[in-house]
Amino acid sequence: MAGADRIAENLNDALHHVFADYRDAYLVGEDVSDPYGGAFKVSRGLSTKYPDRVLSTPISENGLLGLCNGLALCGNRVIAEVMFGDFALLAFDQICNFAAKSVSMYGHAKAMNLVIRCPVGGHRGYGPTHSQAVHKHFLGIPDLSLFEVTPFHDNRTLLDELVNLGTPALLFEEKRLYGSRRFTGGRIDELFTFEFAGDHAVSSPGEPGPADVVLIAPGGATFTALAAARSLLLEAEIVCRVITPVRLYPFDIRPLEDLLGEARLVVVAEEGTEGGGWGAEVAHRVYERLWPRLRHRVVLVGARPSIVPTARHLEHEVLLQPERIVAATREALRG
């Protein structure tokens, strides 16, 4: 809706609130200080207001995550900004082997309030090393939760939850979202409204009764999924609900069981490349809970299994587009 703030601003506001609410909040990252305020400007204003607790680091992803781990170990609420999610791979050791493991590996429950913000995804022409959706690599690490910013969820609530989680969390931020406005007030456009089921946002066209298709799509893939749902409705009268989870892992399927069980088809769409990804994990949860009720196998769509090329026309070919979702959905419903 026109009135809503852009998501980058909403995130920035959320960060400001964390700092206002908690005197032990830290933000640590490359070029996060004013006037730069981070590569995507999400951290603007923080260093000016809280110069002691906003640290612009050298280009040292593993080191800066280690520093965050030390701060978290001392009980602080720590937010790391990784300039591009691709570089979180440089800090994999500190994230997996220290942050997540420290919660349990010393035999005692040890709280680690650490949020690792990672801008991810393509559609910006940043090329192969700056456009990955790295989610899949961090799946299934005990005591590491994965969250993703959505167009629906207020980041103020979300960030407050994350800095108090007691276990480290990755927060993915799909770059397309930054400049987009949040959906608020239950309405997306003239066709779609949304409500929440548990933590999940559920977008539906006005049609009553069960949907033909339930499309699960996080982060920026929400836009792609909504565009696909619109086409499916207008061009083929296929009623499609779009579910946007905010917590990707562990994935909470319970609030969705009826929705999923009633549909003719469940599709999971993700920004990451097809193969070995988040979609397979979600599908597994769906089968686990809904096997007898499923009328079709769960269909997964994602980016093509390729690096993300730089040139716009090539990037477009690789990344997930509404047409791919539409085609996969129609094929499944036909077959």
Partner 1 sequence: MSTTERRREAGGPIATDVDRSDLDLLLLIRHFEQAVLDLFSAGEVNGTTHTCIGQEHVPVALRTLLHPEDFLFSNHRGHGHYLARFGDPAGLLAEILGRAGAVCHGVGGSQHIHRAGFLTTGVQGESVPVAAGVALHLKRHRPGALSVAFIGDGTWGEGAVYEALNMAALWRLPLLLVVEHNGIAQSSPTEAQLAGSIGGRAAAFGLTHRRVDSPDVGRIRELVRGDLERVRSHGVPGVLEFSVPRLGPHSKGDDTRAPEELRSLRRRDWYRHYQRSFPDLFAETEERQRKAVADVVREVRGRPLSTWGTDGWG
Ligand X SMILES: Cc1ncc(C[n+]2csc(CCOP(=O)(O)OP(=O)(O)O)c2C)c(N)n1
As given in the structure block, the two tokens for residue 167 are 């276990």
Q: What is the DSSP letter of 95?
A: I
As given in the structure block, the two tokens for residue 326 are 């539409």
**Sites of contact with ligand X (CB under 6 A):** 30, 59, 61, 83, 87, 90
Contact code string over 233-272 relative to a second copy, x by CB under 8 A: ----------------xx---------------------x
Q: Which of 137, 153, 175, 200 binds a second copy (CB under 8 A)?
A: 137
The residue (of 61 and 270) whose beta carbon lies closer to partner 1 is 61
Question: DSSP per residue over 142-156, as a string?
Answer: TT-EEEE--SSS-HH
Integer angstrom CA distances of residue 193 from 189, 226, 245: 7, 11, 16
Total number of residues that touch a second copy (CB under 8 A): 49
The residue (of 93 and 323) whose beta carbon lies closer to a second copy is 93
Question: DSSP per residue over 206-234, as a string?
Answer: S--S--SEEEE--TTHHHHHHHHHHHHHH
Among ligand X, partner 1, a second copy, none, residue 36 binds (CB under 5-8 Å by kind)? partner 1
Question: DSSP per residue over 112-177, as a string?
Answer: --EEEEEEE--SS---TTS---GGGGGTT-TT-EEEE--SSS-HHHHHHHHTTSSS-EEEEEEHHH
Contact code string over 212-231 relative to a second copy, x by CB under 8 A: --------------------
> Measured between alpha carbons, how far is 330 from 205 in angstroms, rounded to an integer?
18
CB 145 within 8 A of CB 167: yes
User: Is residue 315 close enough to count as binding partner 1 by CB under 8 A?
Assistant: yes
The helix (H) or strand (E) run that includes residue 55 is: strand 54-57
CB of 129 to partner 1, least distance (A): 4
Q: Contact positions toward a second copy, by CB under 8 A? A: 62, 86-87, 89-90, 92-93, 96-97, 101, 104-105, 107, 127-129, 136-143, 249-250, 272-281, 283-284, 287-288, 291, 296-298, 300, 305-307, 309
Q: Contact positions toward partner 1, by CB under 8 A? A: 30-31, 33, 35-36, 39, 52, 55-60, 62-74, 76, 86-87, 90, 93-94, 97-98, 102, 104-110, 124-130, 307, 309-315
